[in-house]
Amino acid sequence: MTKKLEGAGLRGQVAGETSLSTVGQLEGLAYRGHKIEVLAEKATFEEVAYLLLYNKLPNVDELSEYKSLLKSQRDLPNELKEVLQKIPASAHPMDVMRTGTSMLGNLEPEGSFDNQLNSINRMIATMPSIVTYWYKFSHEGLDIDLKNDEDTMAGHFMHILHGKEPSELHKKVMDVSLILYAEHEFNASTFTARVCASTMSDIHSCVVAAIGSLRGPLHGGANEKAMELIENWTSRDEAKSKIIDMLSKKEKIMGFGHAVYSIRDPRNDVIKEYAKELSRLAENDTLYQVAEEVEKVMADEKKMFANADFFHAPAYFYMGIPTKLFTPIFVMSRVSGWTAHCMEQRANNRIIRPSAEFIGIESADWVDIADRT
C-alpha cells in the first residue's frame, strides 16, 4: 500500500523539478531568478517569453528579431478562420481557444520535437488572433484584419480588439498583465501540460490539455467572477454591506486567497496600481472604489488578501475589454510558461505516473449473474 499523502489536492507535495520560476511567500515570484516586480516595470512580454523559452534575456538584436518573428506569424490560416466562423457566440471562449489550438495543430503539426520552438512561437503569436477573430466575427459580424504595425502582443491584441491603435498606457498595462500571468510553477494547468508532455505527446496536445484544465472554475475565470461580483455595486457602502452579507451566508468570494501564497500575492500589488491609474483617467472610478472596498472588507473580516485576478477585473474594464475575454488573456500569456515547462519536461523526461491510495474493498467474491440481486 502506498504512503498516504498529507493534504488534499497534493498541496505541499513536491512533484518535480523546474528552473523556470520560484513561487512562495518568502521568495515571492521570480522567472529564472528575475523578480516579477522588476520584470513588470522594465520588460515587455516578448522579453519574458524569450527568457522562459531561451533561458536568457534577449539583447537588443535578439529582441528585435523575436518581435519580428512573432509579428510575422499573427495571421491565421483561412481554414482556421473558417472553423472559428462556425463557432457560435454562445460558446465558452476557452472552448474557442481549445478548438483553435487543436485546429492549428492539425494544419501545422509539430512533427519532430526539433520543431518545438517553431510551433511554440506560432502559438504565442496566434493566441490573441484566435479568440479576438472569433469574438469580433460572432458578436459583431466583423471579419477583422489580423495584421498591423504593433510590435508587441499587448499592442496587437488591443488594436485588433478595438480596431485602432491603443494608447501607450493601455499597451503598458496589457504588457504588465501578460507578464504577471506568464508563469507560475506547478499550477493545475501547467502540471497538466507537463503530464501530457511526459507521454511524449505533441506540443499542441499539451497546450490543449492545459487549456482544458484552466477552463475549470477552480483554476481559471476568477477575474471574470470578480467582475461579475463588483460591476453591479455603485458605491463603497453598498459593496461593504453586500460583501458582509455574502460572508454571513458563507458564500465564496472569488479573487481572494491562494493555494501557495498565505499573506499576499505579489502580482496583485502590481496590477492594483495600474487599475488605480486607469480609474483616475476614467470618467467614472466607481468600479475601482468598489473593488478597493471589497479588498478592505475581506482583509478586515476574513484576513484574506486579493490575488492576481481580483484587480485585473477593473484594469481590463477600464481598457474596454469584454468580460468573457478575461480568461483567454491568461491563455495568451501562460502559453509561454506552459510550453517552456513542456520543453523542460522533454529535456529530462520520465513519464509522470503517480500512485494512488486505495480506499476501496480489499477483496470481493464473484457472484454469477443469475444470483445477483
184 in active site? no
Q: How many residues are there in the chain?
A: 373
Cα-only R_g, the chain: 22
- Contact by Cβ (8 Å): 295, 279: no
Has 114 been annotated as catalytic? no
C-alpha cell read off for 218: 477552480
DSSP states of 89-149? TTS-HHHHHHHHHHHHHHHS---SGGGHHHHHHHHHHHHHHHHHHHHHHHHH--------S
Helices (H) and strands (E) in the chain, counts: 16, 3
- What is the per-residue DSSP string for 271-311? HHHHHHHHHHHSS--HHHHHHHHHHHHHHHHH---B-TTTT
Q: Which of 46, 49, 29, 40 is nearest to 274 (CA)?
A: 40
Catalytic annotation present for 258: yes
Q: Tell me the C-alpha distance between 48 and 124, whole Å.
A: 12
Name the DSSP letter for residue 342. Answer: H
Active-site residue, selected from the candidate residues 265, 309, 312, 341: 309
- Residues pairing with 34 in the sheet: 31
Question: Would you say 20 and 32 are in contact if contact means Cβ atoms under 8 Å apart?
Answer: yes
Q: Which of 159, 170, 184, 258 is catalytic?
A: 258
- Measured in degrees and rounded to the nearest 5, phi and psi for residue 32 equal 45, 45
Buried-state track 161-180, b at ≥16 Cβ within 10 A, e below 16: beeeebeeebbbbbbbbbbb
Whole-angstrom distance, CA of residue 222 vs CA of residue 259? 13
158 within 8 A of 319, measured Cβ to Cβ:
yes
C-alpha 73/C-alpha 118 separation (Å) is 10
Hey, which residues are catalytic here?
Answer: 219, 258, 309
